[in-house]
Amino acid sequence: MSVPPGSISGPFSDLRVIVAGGTSGIGLACVHLLRSLGARVVAIGKPEGQGASETNAITDSTIHADLTDSTECTVACDRAWSTLGGLDVVVHTVGGSARAAGDGPLDRCTEDGWQAALRLNLDSAFHVVRWGVRKLLDNPRDGEGQRGSIAVVGSVLADSPSPRHFGTIGYAVAKAGLEGLVRNAAATYASEGIRVNLLKPGLLDTPMAARAIRDAQISEFLRAKQPLTAGPVSPEACAQAILSLIDPRNAGLTGAILTLDGGWSVTDPTSDEA
């Protein structure tokens, strides 16, 4: 259900937020949470997103666009900015497997698979974050000298590989690239009052992970690899973590890589090949 503007008080009340990838998975969970806290939200995503019709009912607007295309991204984000009458926060949750396109272990990864993984996971973030920075630079500073914030979703596979079950080189490299993008953007724009942070989740209970979750062997592996959650991390838990990254009260938080992986990155690495 839509939350009328100004009907809820608090740090997120009337915050103007664009959620890229907001029609499915983590993005959809972010839309729900932000709206429940009184934020104004525009979701941008593909029309075939799992929750595309759902976001239409709960956002200020839902815009369908392919964010891997620079021009289409700019047009969609500009529309979102116009709908909101400005911008305070950008959340980028776009991403996914390119296994069907040919991504896989290095020796078997095809050129198409490599390019597809980079386009979906890295190019889309470059387009969205660049657009967001440009818009936020036009914002006046608030009482703490802040202009706004950006949050990006990466993956634990960027630096905690699991080749037995998740050997996709293009995806892992693209997600590692996001960490470089976030750290460099955070360093460049800290003096401008723009915060840029990243959430690094483990395997999630989202449409993208359906193949893995349905596989009995991988499910058993996950119970040991992510022991804190005994399986996939929920999109709702990720949305709560993103909330902490974009919270206007966390004015000094930038360049952070927040890991939410149920213990994936701190479990015995030999367990992956057991």
Query: Quick check: is 270 in a domain?
Result: no
Query: Quick check: is 47 in a domain?
Result: yes
- The range of the structural domain enclosing residue 241 comes to 16-207+234-259
CATH number of the structural domain spanning residue 194: 3.40.50.720
Query: Quick check: is 131 in a domain?
Result: yes
Predicted pLDDT of residue 6: 57
Query: Quick check: is 200 in a domain?
Result: yes
Q: Which pTM does this prediction carry? A: 0.91
Residue 171, Cβ density class (10 Å: 0-12 exposed, 13-18 middle, ≥19 buried) = buried
Give residue-wise pLDDT tens across range 89-129: 999 999 999 999 999 999 999 999 999 999 999 999 999 99
Query: Quick check: is 3 in a domain?
Result: no
Query: Quick check: is 63 in a domain?
Result: yes
Query: Quick check: is 228 in a domain?
Result: no
Domain total of the chain:
1
Using 50, 70 and 90 to split pLDDT, how confident is the model at 136? Answer: very high
Query: Quick check: is 78 in a domain?
Result: yes
Predicted pLDDT of residue 8: 75
Three-state secondary-structure class, residue 111: helix
Q: How far apart are CA 6 and CA 125, in angstroms?
A: 31
Q: How far apart are CA 172 and CA 114, in angstroms?
A: 10
Predicted pLDDT of residue 84: 97
